[in-house]
A = this chain, B = another copy of it.
């Protein structure tokens, strides 16, 4: 790597900044309700303006990109890049300044630890890049809730596979669908494997997570586009165990984290020791 910068590089850089800035200010901007910290476009060397200007996307296009992206770089990269790349192509900067590879790590629930589903993690990072803090949290919570109670992969994904219109075709059969009941990778994968009898190392399970990645990215488009149109309304209602358990645990007699929204009973079975 050279320590020198050529005149050609200097001029190329200057030109791209102008082109991208014009593109950015021409795109729709979200988050005018508070947290916006500057102007759109990466004009100066100061901190990046945020939120980035979301451009409404086609959910089916994004679904296919997410499916392909899973095979390119895992679930977290796949979902993030499915949302980022159309913006890079249509808008350029500031989106092109963010390396999608920074989301590789979320695969397998975070370096293979099985925690947060990487598709959710990657989609959430993109949502948080284009919406202010409070709005992003509402959109992401809705996405997580949808994920826990939706039969995944969605029927549409299966139709896609049968019609061979995914961008890659690793496995084109219909797949069993299950609702994970949890946003955790380990619980999501294991519950699907248990219900279907398909091993986690099977190509069918990889394809399940590839379609899931597309589904999560496409659902994110649906939520973001509704939000851009001021039409987003949260519909997810936490499961009964969360409200039931919290009625004691979030008050005087318990110390549990009151903001948790995961189904308590996915881990705390009835035969766990109960102190009170």
Chain A interface residues toward B at CB < 8 A: 1-3, 5, 9-10, 12-14, 16-22, 25-26, 29, 35, 37, 39-40, 42-52, 73, 88, 92-94, 96-106, 108-116, 120-121, 124-125, 127-129, 133, 136-138, 140-141, 144, 183-186, 189-190, 193-194, 197-201, 255-262, 266-267, 269, 271-272
Contacts and interface: CB of A to CB of B under 8 A. Distances in A.
B101 A110 contact: no
Contacts of A25: 1-3, 5
A264 B257 CA distance: 21
A183 B110 contact: yes
A150 to B, nearest CB: 16
A252 to B, nearest CB: 9
Given A13-B18, A110-B140, A255-B199, A105 B88 contact: no
Contact of A128 (B2, B51, B102, B141): B102
Contacts of A267: 266-267
B26 A3 contact: yes
Given A1-B39, A197-B255, A260 B109 contact: yes
Interface centre among A51, A52, A93, A110, by most chain B C-beta atoms within 10 angstroms, is: A110
A261 B186 CA distance: 10
B113 A183 contact: yes
Contact of A185 (B20, B88, B93, B257): B257
Given A46-B96, A48-B97, A102-B128, A260 B18 contact: no
A101 B193 CA distance: 36
Contacts of A93: 45, 97
A117 to B, nearest CB: 8
Nearest to A125: B102
Nearest to A105: B128
A5 B114 CA distance: 47
Nearest to A252: B199
A193 B259 CA distance: 14
B18 A141 contact: no
A51 B111 contact: no
Interface centre among A17, A120, A136, A256, by most chain B C-beta atoms within 10 angstroms, is: A17
